Each structure stands twice: as structure tokens, then as C-alpha cells.
Structure 1
Amino acid sequence: MKIYTRTGDKGKTRIIEHDVLYKSDKRVESYGTIDELNSFVGLTISDLSEKTMVFREELFEIQQLLFDCGSDLAKSPTQTKRPFVFTADNHATEWLESRIDEYTKELPKVQKFILPGGCKTASNLHVDRTVTRRAERSIVDLMQDEPINEEVLKFINRLSDCFFTLSRYANVLEGSDEVEYRNSKIIFR
């Protein structure tokens, strides 16, 4: 099998069920951003320290789930042969919520906005968080025009919260201080 198809030479790509779309299509943008996010998560994994290695298996699981999200986003709303991979039955969103709740127990209370940064792992996780938010915006943009798998949107929404929590916990593990935004009023009570 050849890795190149030459379809892209005219600015198009083939999605699941063989529909051909422009690479600028909202559907292609949404699953492409998920792919980009998955690459950043891989980078985060490769940069884990001894202390933050505790995140390794969870981040690998997140990569698997992101691939499922991208697969579902790549399906045309007219396709009927393949059911969605990402469903409420896989309990992925609930799993993220449980991870967020567990790590939050170990964190100092946050009252003000926090600047992205701290240790390297925390910084990488903040990049993951912001790319997740961009992916979410592109999925919302797509769903205004076409049906999507709404379980994907729920998961992506929760994933950004998870990355925020993991970034904070990475700083705790590494003994790095969080930097509050200096002009932030108390917003979290």
C-alpha cells in the first residue's frame, strides 16, 4: 500500500465511507485538530520526568480515546455502515471526571487565574489544554452545520479540564510554584 494518494494535490482528502472533501472543510478541520492534539499529548508523554511519570498510562489512554474521537468526527453524517466508536457506554467522560476529582484532592485551592507554566510537564499540559479548547471550538463550528457524535464534544470539553488539573498536579509533584495572573480578582470561591 502506498502512503500517498495524490488526492491532496488538488486540496482534497477522502474521509471514512469514501466521501471526498476539501481539506478546509469543517469536518476535516475538526478531526485534524484532534490529530494535532494527539501529537502534542505524545510530546507530553515523551517529556515526562521521573516524578510526573505517574501520568504516563493515563495519557496513553487519552491518546487512544482521541483517536476514537477523530475517527467519529471523520465520518460523514450520511454514512450508515459504521457505528460510532465513541459512545456513552465507554464511560470515557466519567473516567476523566474521576481522574479530575482524584487529582483535585491533592491540589491547593485555586482562587485566581493561573498563568500557564511551571515545570516542563505542566507547561506541556497547558499546551495540550489550549489545543483541546481549539479542537472544541472547531467541533462546535462543525455541529452548527452538520450532525456530530455529541459524546465526542462532551469528552473534549472535559478533557481540557483534565489537562488543567494534571498541569496543576505536575507542579505539585515537581515542587514548582504556580504563578497567579497579577490582575486577577478572586474568581473561584
Structure 2
Amino acid sequence: MVVLNRIYTRTGDGGDTALSDGSRVRKHDPRVEAYGTVDELNATLGLARLHAAGEMADRLSVIQNDLFDLGADLSRPGIAADAQAPYPVLRMIASQVERLEGEIDAMNARLSALRSFILPGGTALAAHLHLARTVARRAERCTTDAATGGDINADAIRYLNRLSDWLFVAARVANDEGAGDILWVPGASR
């Protein structure tokens, strides 16, 4: 359980921060950039949920919780040393990725095939989901960058990759099952 009695600690005033294993890194470390972008993604999903209801709101809630799991995973280096940790280490797992895949397949089955790229927009929910999709892609880029310099859980990367796909398909669902999608017309402004 997390207990936050004090919000400010002053320990980061010099430009460094603690990872969840207690080690300290600069605040611009690729690992910190990755989990910070995951936090930003979570905030964009909070905005999307303001416009969601029913099953979509429920699914977004589960994803937001997953993103806290993902942040915890990314904030802890040393995958090989997890077994020696004094407490269970929270890592993303394949079943979280598989759940997204199943939901993508179910949502996509209701949609007609795409004949063009989609411009972000449509309903308020769809627009927010498209924004979240772009932040998910950035989080994925940051995470793969962090993976070049250290050990990053492969399921964390897979989750972000699949989540951006999930958000794309969910945006289409939010646009009246794709009927309200705004299609790109190449060269339309010439």
C-alpha cells in the first residue's frame, strides 16, 4: 500500500529523483522520461473519461489503472534482480496485452474497413482518444529509448504499442461506430 503523508520532500530540488529501487537518477533520465510520459498519457485518458459512459468508461478506468502499473514497472530497474527484492515487484504481464488485443478485435468487428486515413476529431470523446493515442505513441518511443540504455520489461513496450492501437479503434467507435470519422482527402486544399 502507498502512504503519502507529505507531498513535497525537497529531495529532487537538485535535479535528480529516486527510482522505486531507491537508486537516484537525473530527472531527464530516459527511464524518468518514459514513466513521466505514461503519467501524461494517464492524464489525457482522464480527460477522455469525462466524455465516456458505460463500457467505454469502464475500459478506460481499467487502462488508467494499468498505466499506474506500467509507471511502477518503468520506475524499477533490475528485472534480473526482481526475485531478490524484499517485496513483490509489479511488472506488466502478457495477459494485460492480450486483454487489449481481445478488446481491439471486438471493437474492430463492429467497424467498416477503412478506405482512408482518419483525421483526429469527431466527437469530444473521439478527439480526446486520438490525443491520448499520440501521447501513447510518444510514451512508446520514450520507453524504447530507455530500453536501449537499460533493462525494460518487454511486456511494457508491447502494452504501449497495443494501447495506441486500442485508442485508435476506440476513437472510431466513439465516432458513431466509424460513421462519424473524418477522413483524410489527399491534396484537398490544393
TM-score, L = length of structure 1: 0.88
- Please state whether the residue corresponding to 1:143 is helix, strand or coil: helix
1 CA distance for matches of 2:28 and 2:78?
Answer: 17
Rounded Cα–Cα distance in structure 2 between residues aligned with 1:2 and 1:171: 43
Q: Cα deviation per residue 1:121-145 (whole Å; 9 max; x = unaligned)? A: 0000001100000000000101111
What letter matches 1:85 in structure 2? R
| 2:153 equivalent to 1:149 | yes
Could you tell me how far apart the structure 2 residues matched to 1:125 and 1:32 are? Answer: 19
1:12 CA displacement: 1.1
| Aligned partner of 1:111 among 104, 108, 115 | 115
Q: Return the alpha-carbon distance in structure 2 between the equivalents of residues 44 and 21 of structure 1.
A: 32
Could you tell me which of 71, 83, 87 is aligned with 2:89?
83
Distance of 1:148 and 1:3 partners within structure 2: 28
Q: Does the residue aligned with 2:114 lie in a helix, a strand or coil?
A: coil
- One-letter identity of the residue aligned with 2:91: V
CA RMSD between the two structures = 1.7
Pick the aligned partner of 2:44 from 40, 47, 50: 40
Q: Is 1:161 aligned to residue 165 of structure 2?
A: yes
Structure 1 stretches of at least 4 aligned residues deviating more than 3 Å after TM superposition:
none
In the alignment, the residues of structure 1 paired with residue 172 and residue 21 of structure 2 have an alpha-carbon distance, to the nearest angstrom, of 41
Q: CA deviation at 1:47?
A: 2.5
What residue ranges of structure 1 are gaps of 5+ in the alignment? 185-189
Deviations 1:44-67 (Å, cap 9, x if unpaired)? 11232xxx5430110000011111
**Percent identity between the aligned chains?**
39
1:9-88 correspondence runs (5 A): 9-48=13-52, 52-77=53-78, 80=82, 81=85, 82-88=88-94
